[in-house]
Structure 1
Amino acid sequence: MAPTARSRGTAHTRKELHKEILKRQNHTKEKDVKEGVSGGGGKGVVGVVDAWTPGPYTALKALLSARLCAAIWGLISDCDETYNYWEPTHYLLYGKGFQTWEYSPQYALRSYTYLLLHAVPGWLYSTLLQSNRILVFFFIRCMLALGCSGCELYFYRGVCKEFGSNIGLVTLGVLVFAAGMFTASTAFLPSSFAMYMTLLSIGAWYHQAPQLAIFTTAISTFLGWPFAAALGIPIAYDIVFRKKQVMMFTKWCIISALTILVPMVQIDSQYFGRLVVAPLNIVLYNVFSSHGPNIYGTEPWTFYIINGFLNFNIMFLAALVALPFHMLVTQVLQVIPKRSHIQHLPLWLSLSPFYLWLTVFLLQPHKEERFLFPIYPLICLTAAVATDTMQQVWWWAWGGRQQHYISHTTWLSLSLLALSATMSMSRIVGQYRAFHAPIETFMELNRLASEGHYPSDRPITLCLGREWHHFPSSFFLPGLNWDVQFIESEFRGQLPQPYSQEPNATSTIPDHMNDANLEETTRYVNVSLCHLLVDVDREEETPREPRYAARTTDWTTIHSLPFMDSQRSQRLLRAFYIPFLTEQYSTYLNYTLLEATRWRTKTRTTGH
């Protein structure tokens, strides 16, 4: 059918419209290039052309892909995560689990409200979909991955709004690939939760949404980690002293306290059986108690520098010098970026949360890797600022002055991102290959149980000695008829003990608990009571740590995996995976699952 005159006219109009759009786009590009030409006098004025950045949906897909990988393949790198969070959550869901002294009503340093945020989704999943406890564990992790990705997306968009597309693009790249973000994003820890809230509060600050910034800072402080309030100091300074919004700040502080702290105190008091303000108790113990956290070990100031490099490699070094480097470039070299957007905050203020937090924790004797989790996103941002400044310097020194600095120096930011991503992947792969044996061992234990190797109708005792700190949690036990017990090892501190099976166990003060990390011998059972044992086979023996795998008359090895010997492996190869070299020059031990021979013979004979 031939087109009518009207349809021909419409087609002709569309062609002309398309040509006009292309013409205007070319005109705009030419105008931008002209505006980007350096002015006279030798002062570099950087051109106004923003870099390409992924849209929200694309950015979310990249972030969520990385976080789901962390949820599935990430290790539990801190025994505090297992015993202070996964174990009490397992108790809330199934009535069994380990209790640490922090959950004793006598001390009440931890919050059950925080646990319920994770336990409720796990309960819904196990009730409606799948009761397998390992799947419940990974479902909770995937929920953490989803939540973290959403927070990162909001932060990324705020960075683009405040700093521009180029810094936003580099920030996103570091967020996606950094080994530190891989570890922290799905860790069941208050410091990781504080990191989520940092993403929201700083993102809201950059979005010019002070009410949300105040509210999320309060959530981080009350529900997560009270020391995270330090990250809100620059936000408070901006609102109160720069913008003079004292009444608004006061009002939202009161609203936040009423909506977060009041319900939290009510829930925690119900579980502990007395009035409890857990955030206050944490501060009192860590700051004002006679011993505080230093009894768990102290480290030199270099601990965080080394740890930051391991988790963010060259980007952490860039972050350390970002602000002074930028000031040098703008004040001395006078390379002044001409932005296509308005920065609402002075750079020193917008980056100050990172430097403030790092300074405070460098001065603390007791140091843990997880203490830096809340500023991990800020490391990514600050490193991006340093990268952007390097691009400006390159353009100023060697770039063609007829071109804007972003298009002329994109190769520099992409090269740094590629190098950082490669080092991060080397770190992630290396840590997994070296230390994945504990989780894999308990997965194998579940497989054996599902195939009928172990009875499901009577108690089975699995023992842990020196490997108590690698226990992935009771979620990995084959059934509720399984119990984990501790045997003596060279560790002389306080181990957790199972929750009481009596009603209201959370409000009952348990016996043999202390807040000084003193060894409680009541935690140990005789090794003769163990049906199975998880151990690392080391050649060195002590009276408290014999070589069980070598006692073949008493124990049978039913599963073994390589596990890197950190003490005897080369430092670089221990930290990063280098194909061929890591396997050749690293030392590995056997991570073994042992079965008591007497019990093995009995179960094979009786079928029970």
Structure 2
Amino acid sequence: MAPTARNRSNAYSRKELQKEILKRQANNKELRQESYSSEKHVIGIVEPWTPGTYTALKALLSARLCAAIWALISDCDETYNYWEPTHYLLYGKGFQTWEYSPEYALRSYTYILIHAVPGWIYSSLLQSNRMLVFFFIRCMLALSCSGCELYFYRGICKEFGANVGRITLSILVFAAGMFISSTAYLPSSFAMYMTLMSMGAWYHQSYELAIFTTAISTFLGWPFAAAIGIPIAYDVVVRKQQFMKFAKWCLISAVTILVPMVQIDSHYFGRLVIAPMNIIVYNVFTSHGPDLYGTEPWTFYIMNGFLNFNIIFIAALIALPFYLFTYYIIPLPKKSSAYLPMWLSLSPMYLWIGIFIMQPHKEERFLFPIYPLIVLAGAVTVDSCQKLGSSLLQTKQQHYLNHTSWFALAIVIFTSVISVSRIVGQYRAYHAPIEMFMELNRLAVEQNFPPDRPMNVCVGKEWYRFPSSFFLPGLNWNLQFIESEFRGQLPKPYSQLPNGTLLIPENMNDMNLEETSRYVPLSSCHFLIELDSPLESPREPRYSKQSSEWIVLHTVPFMDAVRSHRLLRAFYVPFLTEQQCQYSNYTLLQSTKWKTKSRYHGRL
């Protein structure tokens, strides 16, 4: 009987050991709620205050709704590759780029449908005005971004501490980069939403959600966003030794996301299409790739990051080395194993910048996915400065925030003021295109144009500032292109046939070669929208000076960046910006051949 009793005793011991292990794991999870960055020098110090969930959501949502209403469309890719296909799916009319030709099939209609379906529900049930549908979709993007940012913020508080969390939240609310990217209808903005979710899930130790949202970002948003998930994969597979969980959720994600996506895209293109793979093949394995559309020096992203995040971007770049320096200078308490190493937490940002800064073709939107990580890294630097300052002041018997909170507050106020200056300056300088099309809508209502009469609104060099067909007065109104000095390929209208997405359009190429079939004669234009620049050329004359041909109906000042002060054109300073910057007139012209009585005639 003795061996049996001993075996039972051993069995009980193993059960007790398992219970103890589970108990410690639960305790570790609770320990993550303690702030690492608020490590206490004296026992009994309470955790620093942070904005609650509801307060944080109100602040974020307020900022994002402002962006939904006032943010500009700064990239023609947003208009022609996303807003126009959405308009086509909703109303049967819109522009098509070569990426949507079934011959190339680089873009996904699944991504478009995610936005088009809510727009269709709204327009069907509540409002048929197409401009309001446009702003409804933007407000939907604002709500989505706010929710993702809130989850990210709560994850930061758990992983990095209350101080880093509240600094990050404050900067997120006012940052010019977040204002620009949060409601942009672009896969890179969608990838940013998923970055917020995947990083937040990682910091919450919700590895399944982190893997799944990374997969959504990769398949449905932008395939290159997979690079942000590499540190997560390293943590799960190498550090946590959970390879089976990683493989399982990769498979679940692929089946859940990619399979229906392929079915939907194949339906719209009329053949088997895996859009993420096509994008990778074009950008990586073709002889020209995206370089046809322009290249920039490595300093492009440095300048762009500074414009959108000012000193926070510089702080973000030095976050890891400065943290290590602080850790070396002062005896910070050692991080618990329940937390991630700082180098691993910040590595997605450095990895992304390292990859894209080496690519010749650079665009502002390529950095969108890591915009929240830039803010986080900047907050880590500010927090490290506070710790270092507290140590130098020899306040070891007190919590480091007792004497350094003023520094973080000063940084937040300074960077917020600069960011608001950037936001206001960009809107004041470049809002003219959207205002001009709103004015055209107002004119169309006042003049009571017949809804069955085709009306042509023409653009030349201003083709890339067209805000989308949602801003045309009616479905009988057409945007037309006239010749300009731009010699690349312009988009063309989708076929009006029921199976328009299945048809391979004529005169399309993937080499950005000019297609002259896009142009219409000037005589066919009822209205013309132009920037009245003092520079002229045979293909870009000053139409506003041709009084026998055109009547000026409305003008809006538009900043001439070339002739303006470099700093004051980037950041708005009351009085100084107006004095040191030059403006041209953004004009709405009406052909004298189609002259109608209007109170706008002769208005300058």
* Aligned position for 2:196: 199
Q: 1:47 to 1:185 in 2, by over 3 A?
A: farther
Please show how residues 371-382 of structure 1 align to structure 2 within 5 Å.
371-382=366-377
8 A Cα contact 1:162 1:343, kept in partner: no
Amino acid at match of 2:537: T
* Aligned position for 2:563: 568
Does residue 326 (structure 1) correspond to residue 323 (structure 2)? The answer is yes
Deviation at 1:454, TM superposition (A): 2.9
Deviation at 1:602, TM superposition (A): 9.3
1:230 and 1:132 map into 2 onto residues whose CA distance is 40
* Aligned position for 2:414: 419
Does residue 555 (structure 1) correspond to residue 550 (structure 2)? The answer is yes
8 A Cα contact 1:179 1:428, kept in partner: yes
Amino acid at match of 1:465: G
Q: 1:602 to 1:527 in 2, by over 3 A?
A: farther
Deviation at 1:391, TM superposition (A): 0.2
One of 529, 532, 535 as aligned partner of 1:537: 532
CA deviation digits over 1:537-588, x for unaligned, max 9?
Answer: 0122101001000101100010100000011111101100011000011000
**Normalising by the residue count of structure 2, what TM-score does the alignment of the two structures yield?**
0.91
Does residue 595 (structure 1) correspond to residue 581 (structure 2)? The answer is no
1:451 and 1:583 map into 2 onto residues whose CA distance is 33
Amino acid at match of 2:573: I
Does residue 36 (structure 1) correspond to residue 41 (structure 2)? The answer is yes
**Normalising by the residue count of structure 1, what TM-score does the alignment of the two structures yield?**
0.91
Deviation at 1:118, TM superposition (A): 0.3
- 3-state SS of 2:127 partner: coil
Deviation at 1:104, TM superposition (A): 0.1
Does residue 502 (structure 1) correspond to residue 507 (structure 2)? The answer is no
Q: 1:34 to 1:528 in 2, by over 3 A?
A: closer
Identity of aligned residues (%): 70
Does residue 77 (structure 1) correspond to residue 82 (structure 2)? The answer is no
1:434 and 1:603 map into 2 onto residues whose CA distance is 28
Does residue 181 (structure 1) correspond to residue 186 (structure 2)? The answer is no
1:369 and 1:383 map into 2 onto residues whose CA distance is 19
Does residue 478 (structure 1) correspond to residue 478 (structure 2)? The answer is no
* Aligned position for 1:152: 149
* Of 133-142 and 449-458, the range deviating more from structure 2: 449-458
* Aligned position for 2:34: none
8 A Cα contact 1:335 1:396, kept in partner: no
Deviation at 1:503, TM superposition (A): 1.9
* Aligned position for 2:11: none
Deviation at 1:400, TM superposition (A): 2.8
8 A Cα contact 1:361 1:367, kept in partner: yes
Deviation at 1:342, TM superposition (A): 7.0
One of 274, 281, 296 as aligned partner of 1:299: 296
One of 352, 360, 365 as aligned partner of 2:360: 365
1:579 and 1:601 map into 2 onto residues whose CA distance is 40
Deviation at 1:447, TM superposition (A): 1.1
Deviation at 1:402, TM superposition (A): 2.9
8 A Cα contact 1:465 1:488, kept in partner: yes
2:424 and 2:254 map into 1 onto residues whose CA distance is 42
8 A Cα contact 2:102 2:501, kept in partner: yes
- 3-state SS of 1:560 partner: strand
Q: 1:490 to 1:378 in 2, by over 3 A?
A: same
Amino acid at match of 2:465: H
- 3-state SS of 1:451 partner: helix
One of 244, 247, 262 as aligned partner of 1:265: 262
CA deviation digits over 1:319-378, x for unaligned, max 9?
Answer: 0000000001112x1341577x87521000011000000000011010000000000000
The count of aligned residue pairs is 562
Does residue 489 (structure 1) correspond to residue 484 (structure 2)? The answer is yes
Deviation at 1:453, TM superposition (A): 4.5
- 3-state SS of 2:233 partner: helix
* Aligned position for 2:21: none
Q: 1:472 to 1:337 in 2, by over 3 A?
A: farther
Deviation at 1:171, TM superposition (A): 0.6
Q: 1:47 to 1:301 in 2, by over 3 A?
A: farther
2:456 and 2:533 map into 1 onto residues whose CA distance is 23
8 A Cα contact 1:97 1:474, kept in partner: yes
8 A Cα contact 2:219 2:257, kept in partner: yes
1:486 and 1:229 map into 2 onto residues whose CA distance is 38
* Aligned position for 2:230: 233
One of 160, 175, 185 as aligned partner of 1:163: 160
CA deviation digits over 1:406-432, x for unaligned, max 9?
Answer: 121100001000000000000000000
CA deviation digits over 1:70-117, x for unaligned, max 9?
Answer: 000000010000000000000000000000000000000000000000
* Aligned position for 1:20: none
* Aligned position for 2:350: 355
- 3-state SS of 1:336 partner: coil
Please show how residues 418-497 of structure 1 align to structure 2 within 5 Å.
418-497=413-492
Q: 1:134 to 1:34 in 2, by over 3 A?
A: closer
1:245 and 1:287 map into 2 onto residues whose CA distance is 32
Please show how residues 333-348 of structure 1 align to structure 2 within 5 Å.
333-337=329-333, 343-348=338-343
One of 237, 245, 250 as aligned partner of 1:248: 245
Q: 1:160 to 1:479 in 2, by over 3 A?
A: same
Please show how residues 125-144 of structure 1 align to structure 2 within 5 Å.
125-144=122-141
1:548 and 1:128 map into 2 onto residues whose CA distance is 43
* Aligned position for 1:286: 283
1:503 and 1:92 map into 2 onto residues whose CA distance is 11
Q: 1:416 to 1:602 in 2, by over 3 A?
A: closer
2:213 and 2:556 map into 1 onto residues whose CA distance is 43
Deviation at 1:34, TM superposition (A): 12
Q: 1:460 to 1:51 in 2, by over 3 A?
A: same
* Aligned position for 2:521: 526
8 A Cα contact 2:231 2:348, kept in partner: yes
Deviation at 1:502, TM superposition (A): 1.3
* Of 277-286 and 322-331, the range deviating more from structure 2: 322-331
* Aligned position for 1:391: 386
